[in-house]
Amino acid sequence: MQEPTMPLDPTQNHPTPPQPRQQQEPPGTTPEMQPKPDHGEGSYRGSGKLNGRAALITGGDSGIGRAVAIAYAREGADILISYLEEDEDAEETARWVREAGRRAVLVPGDVSQEAHCNGLVDRAMQEFGRLDILINNAAFQRTHESIDEISAEEWDATFRTNIHAHFYLAKAASKVMQPGSSIIGTSSINAKDPSPSLLAYATTKGAIANFTVGLSQMLAKQGIRVNSVAPGPIWTPLIPSTMPPDKVESFGKNTPLGRAGQPAELAGPFVLLASDEASYMTGVVLPVTGGRPMW
């Protein structure tokens, strides 16, 4: 008989604010963060939910993308890790995927460009012969206190990375995906409760939620499910590299659970939505917000 496991106290099972004051240059790297994020390296246990499948994860080098890559590999999937230029972080993610006995393919480049997105799908097909899961996770954000601080170039870059890439990749992937495949985006609590200082980012996250629902209906007849996960405040390199030190220090304090979420706490929802256990779930925007209401 197995020993019972004790449930975790969600208010105490991960670090609580204040975090040390810190700042990095964008896009930020994991090794410089204090405390270090938890991506499930020592905790996630797979059970074969994704055996033999192939996934393409954008922003797979760190943060949520790394946690999803680790979980998917331990569930039996091979992973193409798309990232911008953070080679050290990407290699670390690949190491965890390979330790799980699965293939990891690293492809740097800018997902704001349609040609690169098409190339990612082509590369996945060349490497794996199939593409079962697309994770649109890469994101760009900057904080500003006035709309006058946001340049037209930054507004365009935010939209091209955060929502245009979803369109480019979904369009390319849906041409090669088979029935039962899954497209999953990363939306945000900002889709429903936008932070004024993240105006451009928050606007794109609302667009992702809308895109999820619309595309799910468009692709349903092909048997391709489309969903998204809407995280609350999650402790990733994006935070110390795009927020001022005082906001980093208190990051996550405004949730009912009183802390920022860890990337590892997103792995389960992403696994669920990619697996056959979610076969009747499409058009869902799934909140993982530490208790902050979305709807």
**Which domains, and CATH codes, for the chain?**
54-288 (3.40.50.720)
Q: Name the band, by pLDDT with cuts 50, 70 and 90, for residue 1.
A: low
Q: What percent of the chain has pLDDT over 70?
A: 99
Q: If pLDDT is split at 50, 70 and 90, which confidence band does 60 have?
A: very high
Rg for the chain, CA atoms, rounded: 18
* Degrees, nearest 5: CA angle 94-100-101: 95
What is the value of pTM for the model shown? 0.96
List, for residues 93-123, the tens digit of each pLDDT value: 999 999 999 999 999 999 999 999 999 999 9
Average pLDDT of 241-261?
94
pLDDT, tens digit (0-9, with 9 covering 90-100), for 29-59:
999 999 999 999 999 999 999 999 999 999 9
Across all residues in the chain, what is the average pLDDT?
Answer: 96
Q: Say what the pLDDT of residue 208 is.
A: 98
Residue 168 has a CB neighbour count (10 Å cut-off) of 22
Q: What's the rounded Cα separation, in Å, for the pair 235 and 102?
A: 26
Mean pLDDT of 171-193: 97
- Average pLDDT, integer, range 193-212: 97
- The DSSP symbol for 100 reads T
The model's confidence at residue 27, banded by pLDDT at 50, 70 and 90, is: confident
Catalytic residue ranges: 201
